[in-house]
Amino acid sequence: MALFYLVRHGQADYTPCEERGYIGHGKDLAPLSEQGVREAEETAKDIRLMGADIIVASPYTRALQTAAIISRQTGIKLTVEMDFHEWMPDITFQFKTFEEVVKLNEDFNTFKGIYPVGIPGGEEQKRWESLTALRQRVKKAADKYAHYDRVIVVCHGMVIRTLVYAGPIKNGEIIECKYEAGQPDCEFSFA
């Protein structure tokens, strides 16, 4: 059983992505804002992180940059785990605006992460990653690190809420989670 320190990335600055007209997954190239860098630097000072075995990060820039700051300040090895990326609001990767993502997230929450069946418009809601798919992806990734003693996982709010019941999570916040490979699903907070 491992002790995971689940760290939500620092605040992102989407301006460079918007200026370049990026859509869909391109928006996940957003770096940290100045505030996000400060959040990551503060998180890196948290004594709980000292002496962890490894830092595992989502491949998205905001999480990877946060993890790099923590790695630099702690001297702990950093690796990237592809499946710790954030929930996919649009599995076609074609969303263009944040308003569209907000709507897709609202639909996900309304339907509790389960594709609606027999509801008018239900078919069009299937653009988002289901809760079942999210859980399977995240737990498969987490299982790879369950043999360590202490693991820093730098990722995203919905990934964290897949592993532990939590309400809204602040940027740079650390949530501790005891994790064992194959453990049962926790209740998901649709916060």
Average of per-residue pLDDT across 135-164: 97
Contacts of 151 (CB under 8 A, 6+ apart): 2, 3, 4, 5, 52, 53, 54, 55, 56, 145
**pTM (2 d.p.):** 0.93
- Residue 88 CA to residue 48 CA, distance in Å, equals 30
Could you tell me if residue 186 is inside a domain?
A: no
Structure tokens, 147:
């043999």
Evaluate whether residue 53 is within a structural domain: yes
Structural domains of the chain, count? 1
Query: Considering the domain boundaries, does residue 140 fall inside one?
Result: yes
Give the CA radius of gyration of the chain. Answer: 17
Mean pLDDT of 172-180: 97
Confidence of residue 125 (pLDDT cuts 50, 70, 90): low
In a domain, 57, yes or no: yes
In a domain, 189, yes or no: no
pLDDT at 122: 60
Torsional sign, CA 144, 147, 148, 154: positive
Q: Which helix (H) or strand (E) holds 15?
A: helix 15-19
Give the range of the structural domain holding residue 90, as residue numbers without chain letter.
2-179
Angle between helices 34-44 and 61-74 (to 10 degrees): 40
pLDDT tens per residue, range 3-48:
999 999 999 999 999 999 999 889 999 999 999 999 999 999 999 9
141 belongs to a structural domain: yes
At 113, which CATH number?
3.40.50.1240
Is residue 185 included in any domain, yes or no? no
Residue 20 annotated as lining a ligand binding site: no
Q: Is residue 121 part of a domain?
A: yes
Separation between Cα atoms, residue 166 and residue 177, nearest integer Å: 11
pLDDT at 119: 67
